[in-house]
Chain A
Amino acid sequence: MSRRPHRAPAGGRIDRSRIVTFTLEGRPLAGVAGDTLASALLANGISLVGRSFKYHRPRGFLGAGVEEPNGLFTVGRGARATPNLPGTLVELHEGLAASRQNGTPSVGFDLMAVNDLLSPLLGAGFYYKTFMGPLRGSWMFYERFIRRAAGLGVAPSGPDPDRYETRHAFADVLVVGAGPAGLAAARAAGEAGARVVLVEQDTLAGGGLLALSPEQPLERWREDALRALADLPEVQVLTRTTALGLYDGNTVALLGRSAHGEPDAAHGEAREWITTLRARAIVFATGAIERPLVFADNDRPGVMLASAAQAYRNRWAVSLGERVVLGTNNDSGWMTAAELARGGAELTLIEQRAAVTPALRAMAEEAGVRVHTGGLITRAIGSRAVRAAQFSTGSGRDVTLPCDLLCMSGGWSCSVHLGSHTGIKPVYRADIDSMVPGSLPEGQFAAGAANGTFSLAGAVREGVAAGQAAARHTGFGGARVQADAELPDTPYTVQPAVLPPPRRGKAFADFQSDVSTHDVQIAHEEGFVAVEHLKRYTALGMATDQGKTSNLNGMALMAAMRGQSPGGTTTFRPPWVPMSIGALAGRSTGQHFRPARRSPLHDWHVANGAVFTEAGPWLRPWYYRWAGDSPESAYLAEMHLVRETVGISDISSLGKIELHGPDVGEFLDRVYVNVFSSLAVGKARYGVMLNDDATVLDDGTCARLADTRWFLTTTTAQAGEVMSHLEFLLQTAWTDLRVQAVSVTDQYAGMSVAGPHSRKALELALPGHDVSDAALPHMGCLEITHEGVALKVLRLSFSGELAFEVYAPADRGIAVWEHILRAAAPLGIRPYGLEALASLRIEKGHVAGSMELDHRNTLDDLGLGRMASTRKAFIGQELRQRPGLQAPQRWSLVGLECLDPDKTLRGGAILFAAGDEIAGHGRGHITSVTWSVVLGKTIALGLYRGGLAHAGEEIICAYPLKGEQVRARIVSPVFIDPEGERLHA
């Protein structure tokens, strides 16, 4: 590792007065403000920055930006450690802790480098051909080693302490990329009056201009452009913001990052945020990425993209070589060579083309660049650092040139990814040897290098045109823009890179995936020649850099092997750069993962010893501590309470719908299996709704409060479904029915007062109101006002006891609840929770959501077939007649009594008839279980083939997960009070 200081004493876009200290594997180092981790390491003379994925070859930085495949680091400590970050994109901050990856024990000395020697065995697809023996499961043995060897960095182990956010944004025109074309486009669109968002992944706007020395005259153009944008109130320039993906509806996902190394999460400062931006028009000014050349050992540290070397030199004042060899096939290589030579390097340019324009020659000569035309770099010499470059001259002679930096300029690949995410395939343009955007849909434009226009003047011209067109597309036309006369209009020509003849050593197309020409050769021989086959078989382009430098080279290699000219296309998938899962999740983590729905009585439950449980989105009291410290004991005490005296339970989560209108009766007749139109005012009825396919949609009650005003309840789980179902029918099928449905679930707190003393409880709570059996019989309802509060009182029972449902406006819920508790205190009234509620209904044989109502069962399966009216049509009527649904062997609802006193029935047990072999799918299963406080034994509801036709039979409940078989008897599911005496008491 060279220790020579590399930082030039002056120049660059860095602030030498602000020293930033950081560590690499614990070793303290210093950089300056404005550095990336990459520039700081290089300035410290550290050029070995990683090991490759498969062969563990030593690697240095290939690039200076988003294209970097080699220099990946784990950055941060402990729960903040983030693996696989390209050092070229990590802004240096005080105290940053970085370590290199994929070296065992270290990147400097890596035992896994033995893989490089074994590489003839490890070519593309080798694992498909071996590791199969000796036994069938042998792969599981080998896999352990392969898994350990694979992977890059180590994932953190604790919860992420940082904060993330998601945001929404809108723009008339989104411009992606703040290089010359993007700046020009944003300005043109902004001056036309459009609302513009300009996003730039870098910390600074300028794009390619940032790789020029800030002393250059073009810097003034950049500054002017930024000043003009700042003066436009409807233009927003967002740096540190990466456009990740383009989605339908001109929606772009943006990733913003904090400028702070360790943002202040305690005060809500986010580390990263995802913005979903909906733009009416988009300009892709995403620039281009330089391609490496493919020659033997082109992956050695010190072999670098020419543009990267220039960026390090000019932006970060890091000069990486004194003796530089630069191989190229295009004009930009000459510009870079001249720029590096002007910076003081001794530069030799190897140009594959036999001839170039006199202008280029003159420029090179003026900068002192030595030039070999018609030459090809064939090999890099050196292992941990390049020592020399080998090239063949036009006349076929091999020459070795000592050097400390070997630059590659293989032409530029337009960054067409974003524009192709919605399926617009990029097309190959032979004259510039690159993909360019395909035919973009209306409202999308490309400009500058992204569009294959590499001259500065040309890019700006295109930017202006695209910006104006985008503005026009969104209704802002007509603004005049001043032409920038003095920008250079240099042409760009390129000749597709020629592959050097095969030599010793590996020539890489994909650096991180370790895909060499040899692997492409294997894929070719074995017939994996389609682009997608090549990628999948060799892993070309599948690494964390997503093939930014490798795709085109890999495809060109395959084309050459097939004797075809370069071309073809490939699919680019979002995201453009890897996106952290935390940013996508935003603040929807922990308790905010999903919102919780709380009863209006929630605060009372919290203050009075309720233990809560999730019921879908709802938080409901599971049991109360007055009754016990565990659900197993508490629910029994609560059941006793209801069976013997009186309890009160929160049923606010039930779906509640008011139906108004002259045709409600007719409407309900159609949606319920039973008749409602005949229901008298002041009465309620239990009803079941079916889906069109005759499975049960929901059950509930509906009360007729007035002639044209009805009050319907649904199960908690199906409330939303039922509301939408009713609206669907009214708005699509039966638009003539005069019915309006209004959800009042949030308007009312609901409470069930149940137990033999429940009427007494209400009499005490509602003095002056007649709740006698005559005034309020079973299935009756009343609307009353008590102490100024309007209440609905329905005499309905889920538990099988005498019971009343009381509905009060949500904000009066706690007052009414407490009032009842206070008034009925002499009766011993107490609250009971969901577990008791669900168990009481089992004793009564009521079906319940998700246990018995599971979208599979029909009315008949639930033993409710007799409810179906024959006097009128109802939804599901026709398909209910299908033979499979009427077959006697269908599973239908039964009650089960446990016959083994020392054992218990369990939900999920599989049922068998006595004498059956205990195997296969049995004759049904147990859906719900409880201890019956009335019968003093375990009882259950279940579904059993043939149902109650087998009443009285003794069966086996098999639960092999616990090695259990329990005997049970099939009985009526109505375990208590089959005559309904309690209800009618």
Chain B
Amino acid sequence: MLIIPCPDCGARDYTEFRYGGDANRSRPAHGGGSREDWHDHVFVFDNPKGPHREYWQHVLGCREWLLVERDTASNTVIAVHRARDREMAR
């Protein structure tokens, strides 16, 4: 069982979460970005075998969107942050 430590709720089974995909792609600014930027943001992935930054939302818990760093080769969770904290720190 992939277990994700939610910063608010504690360690929970991944089934409490909704997957949100690759979080490494930077979203072009609203109303900005070329069609090419948006294409790459929406359709192209690094898809690494190894550490992967990805979104998960704790839908059955606090509903927080989390930024999870996980090794796709082992499913080891390396780090978890609230997405909003990470965004604000940018």
Whether A and B touch directly in their complex, counting CB atoms under 8 A apart, is answered as yes
Per-residue interface assignment for chain B, residues 41 to 55, with 1 indicating a CB less than 8 Å from any chain A CB and 0 otherwise: 111000000000001
CB pair B2–A692 under 8 Å, yes or no, is no
Interface-facing stretch out of A25-33, A205-213, A726-734, A974-982: A726-734
Taken together as a complex, chains A and B put the C-alpha atoms of A720 and B84 apart, in Å, by 20
CB pair B65–A731 under 8 Å, yes or no, is yes
Q: Which residues of A contact B34 (CB under 8 A)?
A: 878
Within 8 A of A (CB), among B35-90: 35, 37-39, 41-43, 55, 57, 59, 63-65, 74-75, 82-84, 87-88
Taken together as a complex, chains A and B put the C-alpha atoms of A126 and B74 apart, in Å, by 39
CB pair A878–B27 under 8 Å, yes or no, is no
Q: Which residues of A contact B42 (CB under 8 A)?
A: 692-693, 879
Taken together as a complex, chains A and B put the C-alpha atoms of A236 and B88 apart, in Å, by 47
Choose from B43, B57, B74, B82 the contact partner of A727 (Cβ within 8 Å).
Answer: B57
A734 to chain B, nearest CB (A): 7
Q: Which residues of A contact B38 (CB under 8 A)?
A: 692, 878-879
CB pair A873–B3 under 8 Å, yes or no, is no
Within 8 A of B (CB), among A731-780: 731-735
Q: Does A249 contact B (CB under 8 A)?
A: yes
Residues of A in contact with B (beta carbons under 8 Å apart): 247-249, 251, 276, 278, 423, 670, 692-693, 720, 724, 727-728, 731-735, 872-873, 875, 877-879, 881-882
CB pair A731–B64 under 8 Å, yes or no, is yes
Taken together as a complex, chains A and B put the C-alpha atoms of A733 and B88 apart, in Å, by 10
Choose from A251, A692, A879 the contact partner of B1 (Cβ within 8 Å).
Answer: A251
B43 to chain A, nearest CB (A): 8
CB pair A731–B84 under 8 Å, yes or no, is yes
Taken together as a complex, chains A and B put the C-alpha atoms of A881 and B20 apart, in Å, by 25
Q: A731-B83, A732-B83, A733-B27 are in contact. Are A248 and B75 (CB under 8 A)?
A: yes
Taken together as a complex, chains A and B put the C-alpha atoms of A672 and B56 apart, in Å, by 24
CB pair B1–A248 under 8 Å, yes or no, is yes
Within 8 A of A (CB), among B13-38: 18, 20, 27-28, 30-31, 33-35, 37-38
Residues of B in contact with A (beta carbons under 8 Å apart): 1-3, 18, 20, 27-28, 30-31, 33-35, 37-39, 41-43, 55, 57, 59, 63-65, 74-75, 82-84, 87-88
CB pair B31–A278 under 8 Å, yes or no, is no
Taken together as a complex, chains A and B put the C-alpha atoms of A727 and B18 apart, in Å, by 12
Considering the complex, give the chain A residue whose CB is closest to the CB of B31.
Answer: A873
Considering the complex, give the chain A residue whose CB is closest to the CB of B2.
Answer: A248
Q: Known pairs A278-B3, A692-B41, A878-B37. 5 more at Cβ < 8 A?
A: A248-B3, A278-B1, A423-B74, A692-B38, A732-B27
Q: Which residues of B contact A278 (CB under 8 A)?
A: 1, 3
Taken together as a complex, chains A and B put the C-alpha atoms of A126 and B35 apart, in Å, by 57
Q: Which residues of A contact B31 (CB under 8 A)?
A: 872-873, 877
Taken together as a complex, chains A and B put the C-alpha atoms of A343 and B37 apart, in Å, by 82
B14 to chain A, nearest CB (A): 9
Q: A276-B1, A728-B57 are in contact. Are A881 and B65 (CB under 8 A)?
A: no
| Contact sample, A vs B, 19 pairs, CB 8 Å cutoff | A247-B1, A248-B3, A278-B1, A423-B74, A720-B59, A724-B18, A724-B57, A724-B59, A727-B65, A728-B20, A731-B82, A731-B84, A732-B27, A732-B65, A733-B87, A735-B87, A735-B88, A878-B35, A878-B37
Q: A732-B87, A878-B34 are in contact. Are A727 and B1 (CB under 8 A)?
A: no
Considering the complex, give the chain B residue whose CB is closest to the CB of A881.
Answer: B35
B53 to chain A, nearest CB (A): 12
Q: A248-B1, A692-B42, A732-B65 are in contact. Are A878 and B59 (CB under 8 A)?
A: no
Taken together as a complex, chains A and B put the C-alpha atoms of A670 and B32 apart, in Å, by 12
Taken together as a complex, chains A and B put the C-alpha atoms of A251 and B4 apart, in Å, by 13
Considering the complex, give the chain A residue whose CB is closest to the CB of B66.
Answer: A731
A674 to chain B, nearest CB (A): 15
B15 to chain A, nearest CB (A): 10
A78 to chain B, nearest CB (A): 36
Q: Which residues of B contact A423 (CB under 8 A)?
A: 74
Taken together as a complex, chains A and B put the C-alpha atoms of A881 and B35 apart, in Å, by 8
A969 to chain B, nearest CB (A): 38
Q: Which residues of A contact B30 (CB under 8 A)?
A: 670, 733-734, 873, 875
A661 to chain B, nearest CB (A): 15
CB pair A249–B65 under 8 Å, yes or no, is no
6 tightest Cβ-Cβ pairs between the two chains A and B: A873-B31, A251-B1, A249-B3, A731-B65, A878-B38, A249-B1
Q: Which residues of B contact A733 (CB under 8 A)?
A: 27, 30, 87
Taken together as a complex, chains A and B put the C-alpha atoms of A727 and B84 apart, in Å, by 10
Considering the complex, give the chain B residue whose CB is closest to the CB of A873.
Answer: B31
Considering the complex, give the chain A residue whose CB is closest to the CB of B37.
Answer: A878
Taken together as a complex, chains A and B put the C-alpha atoms of A476 and B90 apart, in Å, by 40
A166 to chain B, nearest CB (A): 12
B54 to chain A, nearest CB (A): 12
Taken together as a complex, chains A and B put the C-alpha atoms of A873 and B27 apart, in Å, by 15
Q: Which residues of A contact B2 (CB under 8 A)?
A: 248-249
Choose from B28, B37, B55, B74 the contact partner of A728 (Cβ within 8 Å).
Answer: B55
Taken together as a complex, chains A and B put the C-alpha atoms of A798 and B33 apart, in Å, by 37
Q: Which residues of B contact A727 (CB under 8 A)?
A: 57, 63, 65
Q: Which residues of A contact B20 (CB under 8 A)?
A: 728
Taken together as a complex, chains A and B put the C-alpha atoms of A692 and B20 apart, in Å, by 14
Taken together as a complex, chains A and B put the C-alpha atoms of A782 and B88 apart, in Å, by 38
B24 to chain A, nearest CB (A): 13
Choose from A248, A724, A882 the contact partner of B35 (Cβ within 8 Å).
Answer: A882
Q: Which residues of A contact B74 (CB under 8 A)?
A: 423
Considering the complex, give the chain B residue whose CB is closest to the CB of A878.
Answer: B38
CB pair B35–A879 under 8 Å, yes or no, is yes
A894 to chain B, nearest CB (A): 29
Taken together as a complex, chains A and B put the C-alpha atoms of A388 and B34 apart, in Å, by 85
CB pair A735–B84 under 8 Å, yes or no, is yes
Q: Which residues of A contact B18 (CB under 8 A)?
A: 724
Taken together as a complex, chains A and B put the C-alpha atoms of A881 and B83 apart, in Å, by 30
Taken together as a complex, chains A and B put the C-alpha atoms of A727 and B17 apart, in Å, by 14
Q: Which residues of B contact A731 (CB under 8 A)?
A: 64-65, 82-84, 87
Q: Which residues of B contact A249 (CB under 8 A)?
A: 1-3, 75
Q: Which residues of A contact B84 (CB under 8 A)?
A: 731-732, 735
Considering the complex, give the chain A residue whose CB is closest to the CB of B20.
Answer: A728
Choose from A728, A872, A877 the contact partner of B65 (Cβ within 8 Å).
Answer: A728
B77 to chain A, nearest CB (A): 9
Q: Which residues of B contact A720 (CB under 8 A)?
A: 59
B11 to chain A, nearest CB (A): 8
B39 to chain A, nearest CB (A): 7
Taken together as a complex, chains A and B put the C-alpha atoms of A423 and B57 apart, in Å, by 28
B81 to chain A, nearest CB (A): 11
A595 to chain B, nearest CB (A): 13
Considering the complex, give the chain A residue whose CB is closest to the CB of B86.
Answer: A732
Q: Which residues of A contact B37 (CB under 8 A)?
A: 878
Considering the complex, give the chain B residue whose CB is closest to the CB of A691.
Answer: B42
Taken together as a complex, chains A and B put the C-alpha atoms of A720 and B30 apart, in Å, by 23
B86 to chain A, nearest CB (A): 8
Taken together as a complex, chains A and B put the C-alpha atoms of A724 and B18 apart, in Å, by 9
A875 to chain B, nearest CB (A): 8
Q: Which residues of A contact B63 (CB under 8 A)?
A: 727
Q: Which residues of B contact A276 (CB under 8 A)?
A: 1
Taken together as a complex, chains A and B put the C-alpha atoms of A692 and B82 apart, in Å, by 22
Considering the complex, give the chain B residue whose CB is closest to the CB of A879.
Answer: B38
Taken together as a complex, chains A and B put the C-alpha atoms of A881 and B84 apart, in Å, by 30
B10 to chain A, nearest CB (A): 12
Q: Which residues of B contact A881 (CB under 8 A)?
A: 35
Q: Which residues of B contact A872 (CB under 8 A)?
A: 31
Taken together as a complex, chains A and B put the C-alpha atoms of A879 and B28 apart, in Å, by 12
B8 to chain A, nearest CB (A): 13
Considering the complex, give the chain A residue whose CB is closest to the CB of B1.
Answer: A251
CB pair B35–A732 under 8 Å, yes or no, is no
Taken together as a complex, chains A and B put the C-alpha atoms of A872 and B34 apart, in Å, by 16
Considering the complex, give the chain A residue whose CB is closest to the CB of B63.
Answer: A727
Q: Which residues of A contact B88 (CB under 8 A)?
A: 735
Q: Which residues of B contact A873 (CB under 8 A)?
A: 30-31
B63 to chain A, nearest CB (A): 6
Taken together as a complex, chains A and B put the C-alpha atoms of A258 and B66 apart, in Å, by 42
A223 to chain B, nearest CB (A): 36
Considering the complex, give the chain B residue whose CB is closest to the CB of A732.
Answer: B83
